[in-house]
Every structure is written in C-alpha cells, then in structure tokens.
C-alpha cells in the first residue's frame, strides 16, 4: 500500500514538474536557429504533402509550414522565423521552445501543435495543468490522432502526413472516424 502511495506521489510531482517546465515561457525574444531558412517557393499544399510523405524525417520548418497549410490553406511566411512568430502568436507552438529550422520535429512538438491547432478537449491533466508536449501526445494517441511512440522520437514523413490528415478531419467534423471498427467488419 505504501509503495502505491509513493508511486502516486512521484507521478503527481513529475506531472507538476512537466507542466511547469512546459508552460512557463519567459517574455522576450524567441529562440530561433536558422531563422532565414526558406522552403521551396510556389509549393502549394498538394506538392508539400507529396514531398513530405517520402522524407525519412520532417524538419521543424516543414512541420510549421504544414500547420499553416492546415489552418489557413496557404503559407504566407517568407522564412522560418515568420512561421515561428505566426504560430507562436496563435498559441500553436510554445513560446519557450528553442526552434531550429533543420532539426527533425519530435512527436511531442507535433502533438502539441496539432492539439492546439485543433482545440482538442483534453483529459483531467490537460485541463488542470494546461497543454505540454507529453500530455498532448498522450491525449492524441488516446483519441487515435497519432500512433504510438515516445515524445522525443523523430516524426517520419508518412507519420506526419497521417497526423495532419486526421487533424484536418477533426477540424472538419470535430471527431474522427473509427478506423479500427471499420477494418474489423
């Protein structure tokens, strides 16, 4: 019985630490590496998702371009810095994150962006402590918007495309189709 209480106490303290670390942004300038990095000019949404689907990993720059395509249908940003600023102002990316254009996006960062963009209703922890990368990923995995995997693992092109398709479906219908029951019938 005491071991269970200790386990619960450690879990609660860990959850608080994660919530506080993920949600305490200091005001000031964003930390951006590769701010002037650009992506292919004239690339629309279909061309973007076609290019992304075959990539081994998706860069933060590409991930943010995809978020703009999801939300606005276009990417008006001239470079990575403008994408970061636009999505930070909208609350889609964390203001305290260090953004690096050419670094592969993690499942945790992608989950946070999708969660915020779709305005998903979360469980108790998300409601009480606010969104963090870890709990956004857990919620999206629970809801079937993202597959299993660790928060820090890199996102492949196909994983990214699948998550974005499900996010688009969620924005359109405010729910996801039940693919598992459809495949078992």
Q: What are 52-78's pLDDT values in tens digits? A: 888 999 999 999 999 999 999 999 998
Question: Confidence band (pLDDT; 50, 70, 90) for 156?
Answer: very high
Question: Confidence band (pLDDT; 50, 70, 90) for 89?
Answer: very high
179 versus 148: the higher-pLDDT residue is 148
What does the mean pLDDT of the chain come to?
80
pLDDT > 90? residue 126: no
31 versus 178: the higher-pLDDT residue is 31
Q: Beta strand 98-100 with 31-33: parallel, antiparallel or unpaired?
A: parallel
Q: Look at residue 30 in the predicted model and tell me its pLDDT.
A: 65
For residue 41, give the nearest of 6, 13, 78, 7 by alpha carbon: 78
Averaged pLDDT for residues 112-119: 94
Would you give the distance in Å from CA 49 to the centre of its chain? 16
Write out the DSSP string of 111-123: HHHHHHHHT----
Q: Look at residue 127 in the predicted model and tell me its pLDDT.
A: 84
Q: Look at residue 45 in the predicted model and tell me its pLDDT.
A: 73
Q: Rounded to whole angstroms, how far apart are CA atoms 60 and 155?
A: 10
Cα atoms in the Cβ-side hemisphere of radius 13 Å centred on 151: 13
Question: Confidence band (pLDDT; 50, 70, 90) for 1?
Answer: low
Q: Look at residue 129 in the predicted model and tell me its pLDDT.
A: 87
Question: Confidence band (pLDDT; 50, 70, 90) for 35?
Answer: low
pTM, two decimal places: 0.75
Q: Look at residue 121 in the predicted model and tell me its pLDDT.
A: 84
């Amino acid at each position: 019985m005491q071991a269970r209480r200790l386990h619960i106490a450690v879990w609660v303290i860990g959850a608080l630490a994660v919530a506080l670390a993920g949600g305490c942004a200091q005001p000031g300038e964003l930390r951006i590496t590769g701010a002037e990095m650009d992506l292919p000019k004239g690339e629309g949404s279909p061309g973007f998702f076609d290019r992304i689907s075959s990539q081994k990993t998706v860069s933060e720059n590409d991930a943010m371009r995809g978020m703009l395509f999801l939300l606005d249908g276009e990417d008006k940003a001239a470079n990575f810095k403008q994408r970061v600023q636009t999505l930070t102002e909208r609350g889609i990316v964390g203001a305290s994150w260090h953004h690096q254009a050419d670094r592969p996006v993690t499942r945790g960062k992608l989950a946070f962006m999708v969660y915020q963009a779709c305005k998903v209703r979360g469980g108790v922890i998300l409601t009480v402590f606010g969104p963090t990368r870890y709990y956004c990923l857990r919620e999206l995995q629970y809801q079937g918007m993202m597959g299993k995997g660790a928060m820090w693992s890199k996102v492949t092109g196909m994983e990214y495309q699948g998550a974005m398709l499900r996010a688009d479906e969620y924005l359109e219908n405010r729910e996801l189709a039940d693919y598992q029951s459809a495949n078992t019938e």
